[in-house]
Amino acid sequence: MPERKTDRRSPTRGLSQLTIECVAPELDSGRYPVKRIVGDVVRVGADIIKDGHDAVAAHVVVRAPGEAAHAIPMEYAADEDRWHAELTVDRVGRWHFTVEAWTDAWETWRGGFRKKVDAGVNVRVELMEAALIVKAAARRAKKGPARASLTQTAKVFDTAGDTPTDAVIRRALDPELASLLREHFLPRDLTRHGRELVIVVDRPAAGFGSWYEFFPRSTDPSGRHGTFRTAVKELPRIRRMGFDVVYLPPIHPIGRTFRKGKNNTLTPEPGDVGSPWAIGNEDGGHDAVHPDLGTLGDFDAFVKAASEQGLEVALDYALQCSPDHPWVKAHPDWFHQRSDGTIAYAENPPKKYQDIYPINFWCDDRRALWEACRDVLAHWIEHGVTIFRVDNPHTKPLAFWEWVIADIQAAYPGTIFFAEAFTRPKRMKSLAKLGFTMSYTYFTWKNTSWELRDYCTELNTPPVTDYFRGNFFVNTPDILNEYLVDGGRPAFRARAILAGTLSPLWGMYAGYELIENVPVKPGSEEYLDSEKYQIRVRDWTAAGNISDEIARLNAIRREHPALQRFGNLTFHHSENERVLFYRKAANAGNTERFGADTPEVRRLTSDVRTGSSEKAAITDADLLIAVNLDPHAVQASMVHVPIADMGIAPDQPYVVHDLLTGTKYTWTGSRNYVRLDPTDQVAHILRVER
């Protein structure tokens, strides 16, 4: 029989008496950070497993931005067989945490000691063992009261004899002694979770806000090219409608080569202003402003005026260039070179974008290119902009976005990146995981009950809620959905209410309030006389506008925290599929809490819910929403209220207060009646009053 080879290494090498697993919150085994909003109370959980019957202890080791690590004790929940701790993320930035566990030698000893004392067993040896533990803790304690107390206690235990006094027993079981030992005794089997996890904590505007998109060049009532100075005059109107963010399409010089004319024609006329997404000419590139809009100083004044109205300015960040962009001449290698020596323009057959050159992010000089793109962001941040709507991020490398977002947010905490990525679902989610603060969604194309239920449930279910924040834009300069074309004013009203109540983040492009819905041709999502290619002067007081309704919707959103959260949306049965019925719960509906009350959190959140120019009562209550999805006909339905989830008895009457009209109804039980007329009241937003 051949001799058996033996492994002379320790059989316990690389092994541990404890196992720490299923740590949460965690995304893709820690590859990506989870997202939270400042003030959230994050519930950290872990499964901790050990052989035998010894007591176990654990804590969460947390590093807040700019601070040293500290520990938060974890508590054991027997019904879950799981450990938990709560931490309040009270500042913006990247938080790091992990879990440590160990055999709690003192609690193990104290539990056995108590049993033996109660049973009348001799405990002299046990007290000698206790003395060894206490001495070890005393050696680690600094000179002072703690070390003195521990040293004296060890002497008492060493000299206790066979029949310890009541005083000795009380000292052994004293919670104060247990606290000293937790602080100073070093366990022999301290075990750390295999990875450190990250939480990206964003400011409140990352999780709640109403966006309004408009072109500054269309703000001169005379029809001439508008400026930042004329655009300032639009800000009070936008604020009256309750918006928080004004988003500007690119404000940079526009290329002249292959400039597009009205309605995207390839044959522009003299005076055609072109598409602002064709960035750059002899006046500058991404760090310049179009001379017809004014100067950089005029832009600074616009940002200041917006801030005085309680509005933030968001800029379009479109990493593409016109043929006239300074980068094309200085760095032709930053672009895609064709075999004939020309630079490739953008194409999406049959569409051609001859006025735009895509950037080659994997060129040989990519380090200089990536840093130049980053420096564009830093330039505008220095001019007061900390929100960027990113154009087509899915056509640029994921590695670039992960790098540039982390780099910018390290230097400028609180910077928000909004991904305009209408692409495959997994690619959209990947962009969110690697750092984008919020994302456009497919909401625009979800118009039936089942589509909305399925999609919104997906966005409100973990793990998606850990990283993906959907901003429900109802339209854009590129997207005029057929539902709006066909449904007219009732459709516009319904879609605004859906967007503003299904998601804490929603937005609209200027003209929506005027029910602009004429496509360039049947079946097209392009607008006739699109503002992308020409100046549009509008009469904001035109008959049939819904500006007041939008203002009421945004006021309701500011007044009710249930509409400011992700993860608290549930759909409930409507007996008519054309009436969508859902609940936004006052309670978040998960294991975490929102909005911790600290001075720093109050400072950061004070302007988000109420606006800086007006104050509104904050009412945390359940909301029930019913929306008629049929823009052409009255729809009635029996809707099923989740009274059990809301703590309402089957025979208990309760009042629902319609926040859109002020009307109050008394309902009883789960099954109740609604009737919605698209020409009058297209929806109910009902606050449940107890």
Residues annotated as part of the active site: 391, 420
> 331: helix, coil or strand?
coil
Burial of residue 17 (number of CB atoms within 10 Å: 0-12, 13-18, 19+): middle
> 23: helix, coil or strand?
strand
Q: Across 535-595, where does the E strand assignment appear?
A: 569-571, 579-584
* Widest Cα–Cα separation across the chain: 107
Cα gap 657→5, rounded to integer Å: 80
**CB neighbours (10 Å) of residue 92?**
21
Cα gap 384→300, rounded to integer Å: 7
Q: CB under 8 Å to 352, separation ≥6 — which residues?
A: 345, 346
Cα gap 361→400, rounded to integer Å: 8
Cα gap 429→448, rounded to integer Å: 23
Is 682:627 a contact under the CB 8 Å cutoff? yes
Between the alpha carbon of residue 454 and those of residues 375, 450, 451, 466, the distances in Å are 41, 6, 5, 18
DSSP 67: S
Cα gap 317→349, rounded to integer Å: 24
Q: Which residue, 495, 507, 505, 503, is CA-closest to 456?
A: 503
Is 91:202 a contact under the CB 8 Å cutoff? no
Tokens read off for 572: 């409930």
DSSP 593: B
Q: Which residue, 138, 27, 99, 75, is CA-closest to 467?
A: 27
Tokens read off for 202: 């964003």
> 210: helix, coil or strand?
strand
**CB neighbours (10 Å) of residue 363?**
17
Burial of residue 79 (number of CB atoms within 10 Å: 0-12, 13-18, 19+): exposed
Half-sphere exposure of 357 (CA within 13 A, CB side): 29
Q: What is the distance of C-alpha 136 from the center of its chain?
A: 47
Between the alpha carbon of residue 493 and those of residues 297, 556, 628, the distances in Å are 38, 15, 10
Q: Rounded to the nearest 5°, which phi and psi values hold at 93?
A: 135, -165
Q: CB under 8 Å to 233, separation ≥6 — which residues?
A: 219
Q: Which residue, 450, 565, 208, 452, is CA-closest to 441?
A: 452
